[in-house]
Amino acid sequence: MELDNMFVQIEKLSKDDWDKLFSLIPEIESSDRFIESGGIIEDKNDPDSFMITPVIETKVVLDFEKIMYDLNLVIPFNWSKWEQGRKIASKGIFINLSTITLLKLLTAFIRNNRFCDGALASRFEDGTIEIILKELKKNIEKR
């Protein structure tokens, strides 16, 4: 799907479709952990060494990613070269952004997770996903 077609895709989604995504907000708000296990684990038998295991994310992270793909909200674009997105993410100010920009940010976080294990869960832990979902919900409710 091209970026231009995202406007059509967004308009096609029903309130029930969006509610699948937005219903995750209370669960995200009440969670304090988004990684079940994995990452760097110290070797109990040898304190000078460690093991790196795949990160296993919690259900809400996995549900979020699945819903984003199921609703076709993961936008195909060159997210790794999106400088504006890097600036927005580094400043952490997500207020008054367009629906497309918010979806592009979520897409970049989802896609980055494929290359950097645990990156998406860290965006949940620092509150970024919750903030973006709330802003996205405001935008959708305005239309």
Question: Tens digits of per-residue pLDDT, 48-85?
Answer: 776 666 778 899 999 999 999 999 999 999 999 999 99
8 A C-beta contact, residue 74 and residue 107: yes
Q: pTM of the full predicted structure? A: 0.86
3-state secondary structure of 35: strand
Range of the domain at 132: 3-142
Number of domains in the chain: 1
- Segment 110-128, tens digit of pLDDT: 999 999 888 999 999 999 9
> What does the pLDDT read at residue 25?
98
C-beta pairs of 122-125 under 8 Å, 24+ apart in sequence: 122/34, 124/28, 124/31, 124/34, 124/60, 124/61, 124/64, 125/33, 125/34, 125/35
Picking from 129, 131, 113, the residue whose alpha carbon sits closest to that of residue 57 is 113
Q: Measuring CA to CA, which residue among 40, 34, 42 is closest to residue 54? A: 40
